[in-house]
Chains A and B, each alone.
Chain A
């Protein structure tokens, strides 16, 4: 696993270098294109993953994170590489840059929560069906998977909430850019639905209404749907705030 994490850290450095170079070349924070966004999210995941690797019993979880991340990187490289040659759009204020940056840190946490859910589902199903061979032995206990899932949601959900509030504050400073119906833009609606969804997951887990396989299924299926919608929006160019028309 040492090599895996070493190579992952190297990959993260390369991603950081790509983002840094784009920032240096264009003098703009490179967060606006899908490729930049995904690169930032993968970078955040890697930065969260590396300290996890130091905990021996959590280490096997990394294989659940690494595979989809690697796939995401390959897909980005294949589908969105022209983005890397284009100039990033200007983020008008540092508050906006912070808003966008924080969104992707929260996405990274949600992504990892969804992959932890997958590990939970896998382990719980094997345990339920009395199949305890293979990777089963190596995975952390259900209690630890549940704890990790809860911690990721506990950090991700308030961070995402704070990001949305920061976004709301910013809209007051730059109404002209967003148009009059910015709050009806697909991107904003998706963010609101996502906030409500993770609020339900977080509070459901806290109160015991959503726990164990139910919570794991809820988060995994939910996040997969959000990801699919996000990708579809990116492909259909529905990510603009002024989707319903520009400001007069």
Chain B
């Protein structure tokens, strides 16, 4: 029984190589079908995302080297490439290493952005495609189910997904830690710029509905406000309207500060001291630092936002180490399950052998006792069945126990010799 994963990702290859081997989403079902046909059996899952292309294969007969060669041939044929074009970029994990790799991938411990949530959905999608193509055999099924469980544990038991790692998302997160409901808050954009628009988009996607754009150029302000159903205001009326902004994003090209503590003090008074979140992404800065010292004003400039991004990334890195511990436990549990699967044919053979003997001996006995009634015959049959079951109970438990603690092949070899079974 062999399990193999081979593929490439952002760590091992450039996008030039990755895009050559990537599968279009609509071609994955036929690719899965084709590979399984070539392997004549087993389980196949193809995971193709923007950062990785991986093929997971399980086979009951072929060894991992043969599986690797078959997968490479398939990839070369499917993408019309020579195997040497990509073979050197591939990484390969076999058996328990492959299990660990999948658990790391699903738990987002191998992602470009540690802890990103998208990968679990992509792994799930890949598994469902395989299942729909009837290419998810027993081992693949168990492997992926376990991977989903591990991924959930990594996410819930660690802080791997805590805190965003892009400046615009961090700004939205901070807004959400000040305001409970963003839908009734007003975002005021002062000036224009790519980053302020990006942050505005993120805020709108989180429910913000009221947008006010203040710009020296009224036409530009209107153009920016229009897509969000917002309001455009002339720059010279900024102070008059400042109190309306719950979230203020400033990114003008002004050479000196345009917003001062006194203006905010007046604005706070007008809005009954309700908190204000000020994001100053202009360089040079638009908002005087003293504004951040006022009660109920939370001021973040570009450096502050990047500092939060850095802290979140560091937290994720630290949490990844804890996540690895969960993966390791999962691999051990899966190994136990795999050992049970390896033992299954032997256990089935022993049970079949005992039942064959039971049937033979029962037939002989019943033939020697022709006067028995039907009920008595049934009782005797039932008696032999119970005797066999009870006799098998202890050896079966011991076999499972020994397989869990010693090399399964050695244990099974001995068991098969002990019970006089043919080697599988």
Chain A residues with CB under 8 Å of chain B are: 57, 123, 127-128, 130-133, 136-137, 139-144, 147, 207-209, 211-214
**Partner pick for B295 among A137, A143, A213, CB 8 A cutoff:** A213
**With an 8 A cutoff between CB atoms, is B86 at the interface?**
no
- Whether B295 and A212, one on each chain, are in contact in the complex, defined by CB atoms closer than 8 angstroms, is yes
- Whether B275 and A212, one on each chain, are in contact in the complex, defined by CB atoms closer than 8 angstroms, is yes
- Whether A132 and B178, one on each chain, are in contact in the complex, defined by CB atoms closer than 8 angstroms, is no
**With an 8 A cutoff between CB atoms, is B274 at the interface?**
yes
- A67–B396 alpha-carbon span in the complex (Å): 51
* From A128, A207, A209, residue with most partner B Cβ within 10 Å: A128
- A132–B176 alpha-carbon span in the complex (Å): 12
- A55–B347 alpha-carbon span in the complex (Å): 51
Known A128-B298, A132-B311, A133-B315; contact A141-B272, beta-carbon cutoff 8 A: no
Please name the residue on chain A nearest to B297 by beta carbon: A128
- Interface residues as binary, B138-159 with A (CB distance below 8 Å gives 1, 0 otherwise): 0000000000000000000001
- Whether A132 and B179, one on each chain, are in contact in the complex, defined by CB atoms closer than 8 angstroms, is no
**Partner pick for A128 among B274, B292, B315, CB 8 A cutoff:** B292
- A128–B295 alpha-carbon span in the complex (Å): 9
- Whether A132 and B177, one on each chain, are in contact in the complex, defined by CB atoms closer than 8 angstroms, is yes
**Partner pick for B174 among A132, A147, A213, A214, CB 8 A cutoff:** A132
Q: Which residues does chain A contribute within 8 Å of B272, judged by CB atoms?
A: 207-208, 211
- A200–B274 alpha-carbon span in the complex (Å): 18
- A130–B295 alpha-carbon span in the complex (Å): 15
- A139–B162 alpha-carbon span in the complex (Å): 13
List of 9 A-B pairs having minimum Cβ-Cβ separation, nearest first: A208-B272, A211-B273, A212-B296, A143-B180, A144-B180, A141-B180, A130-B304, A142-B178, A208-B273
Known A212-B273, A212-B296, A213-B295; contact A130-B180, beta-carbon cutoff 8 A: no
Please name the residue on chain B nearest to A130 by beta carbon: B304
- Whether A211 and B315, one on each chain, are in contact in the complex, defined by CB atoms closer than 8 angstroms, is no
Please report the total number of B residues contacting A with Cβ < 8 Å: 26
Q: Which residues does chain B contribute within 8 Å of A207, judged by CB atoms?
A: 272
- Whether A143 and B179, one on each chain, are in contact in the complex, defined by CB atoms closer than 8 angstroms, is yes
CB under 8 Å from chain A, chain B span 285-335: 292, 295-296, 298, 300, 304, 307-308, 311-312, 315
Please name the residue on chain B nearest to A144 by beta carbon: B180
Please name the residue on chain A nearest to B304 by beta carbon: A130
- A61–B311 alpha-carbon span in the complex (Å): 24
**With an 8 A cutoff between CB atoms, is B163 at the interface?**
yes
- A124–B308 alpha-carbon span in the complex (Å): 15
Q: Which residues does chain B contribute within 8 Å of A208, judged by CB atoms?
A: 272-274
- Whether A132 and B296, one on each chain, are in contact in the complex, defined by CB atoms closer than 8 angstroms, is no
- A57–B179 alpha-carbon span in the complex (Å): 13
Q: Shortest CB–CB separation between residue B275 and chain A, in angstroms?
A: 6
Q: Shortest CB–CB separation between residue B147 and chain A, in angstroms?
A: 26
Q: Which residues does chain A contribute within 8 Å of B163, judged by CB atoms?
A: 132-133, 137
Please name the residue on chain B nearest to A140 by beta carbon: B180
Q: Shortest CB–CB separation between residue B171 and chain A, in angstroms?
A: 12
Known A133-B163, A208-B273, A212-B273; contact A141-B311, beta-carbon cutoff 8 A: no
Interchain residue pairs with CB less than 8 A apart (9): A130-B300, A133-B315, A139-B177, A141-B178, A141-B179, A142-B178, A208-B274, A209-B273, A214-B295
- A124–B103 alpha-carbon span in the complex (Å): 38
**Partner pick for B311 among A127, A128, A133, A144, CB 8 A cutoff:** A133
Q: Which residues does chain B contribute within 8 Å of A132, judged by CB atoms?
A: 163, 173-174, 177, 308, 311-312
- Whether A127 and B174, one on each chain, are in contact in the complex, defined by CB atoms closer than 8 angstroms, is yes
Q: Shortest CB–CB separation between residue B274 and chain A, in angstroms?
A: 7
Q: Shortest CB–CB separation between residue B392 and chain A, in angstroms?
A: 42
Q: Shortest CB–CB separation between residue A143 and chain B, in angstroms?
A: 4
Q: Which residues does chain B contribute within 8 Å of A128, judged by CB atoms?
A: 292, 298
Please name the residue on chain B nearest to A214 by beta carbon: B295
- A128–B300 alpha-carbon span in the complex (Å): 9
- Whether A127 and B315, one on each chain, are in contact in the complex, defined by CB atoms closer than 8 angstroms, is no
- A141–B176 alpha-carbon span in the complex (Å): 7
- Sample of 5 more A-B contacts, CB < 8 Å, known A127-B298, A132-B308, A143-B178: A127-B177, A128-B292, A133-B312, A140-B180, A207-B272
Q: Shortest CB–CB separation between residue B162 and chain A, in angstroms?
A: 5
Q: Shortest CB–CB separation between residue A247 and chain B, in angstroms?
A: 49
- Whether B180 and A147, one on each chain, are in contact in the complex, defined by CB atoms closer than 8 angstroms, is yes
CB under 8 Å from chain A, chain B span 339-371: none
- A140–B178 alpha-carbon span in the complex (Å): 9
Known A130-B304, A133-B315, A211-B272; contact A142-B177, beta-carbon cutoff 8 A: yes
- A130–B310 alpha-carbon span in the complex (Å): 12
Please name the residue on chain B nearest to A141 by beta carbon: B180
Q: Which residues does chain A contribute within 8 Å of B177, judged by CB atoms?
A: 123, 127, 132, 136-137, 139, 141-142
Q: Which residues does chain A contribute within 8 Å of B180, judged by CB atoms?
A: 57, 140-141, 143-144, 147
**Partner pick for B162 among A57, A137, A140, A142, CB 8 A cutoff:** A137
Please name the residue on chain A nearest to B159 by beta carbon: A137
- Whether B162 and A211, one on each chain, are in contact in the complex, defined by CB atoms closer than 8 angstroms, is no
Q: Which residues does chain A contribute within 8 Å of B173, judged by CB atoms?
A: 132
- Interface residues as binary, B164-185 with A (CB distance below 8 Å gives 1, 0 otherwise): 0000000001101111110000
* From A123, A132, A212, A213, residue with most partner B Cβ within 10 Å: A132
Q: Which residues does chain B contribute within 8 Å of A139, judged by CB atoms?
A: 177
Please name the residue on chain B nearest to A146 by beta carbon: B275
Q: Shortest CB–CB separation between residue B309 and chain A, in angstroms?
A: 10
- A210–B304 alpha-carbon span in the complex (Å): 28
Q: Which residues does chain A contribute within 8 Å of B292, judged by CB atoms?
A: 128
Q: Which residues does chain B contribute within 8 Å of A130, judged by CB atoms?
A: 300, 304, 307-308
Q: Which residues does chain B contribute within 8 Å of A133, judged by CB atoms?
A: 163, 311-312, 315
- Interface residues as binary, B195-238 with A (CB distance below 8 Å gives 1, 0 otherwise): 00000000000000000000000000000000000000000000
- A207–B275 alpha-carbon span in the complex (Å): 15
- Whether A127 and B295, one on each chain, are in contact in the complex, defined by CB atoms closer than 8 angstroms, is no
- A45–B296 alpha-carbon span in the complex (Å): 29
- A208–B275 alpha-carbon span in the complex (Å): 11
Q: Which residues does chain A contribute within 8 Å of B181, judged by CB atoms?
A: 143
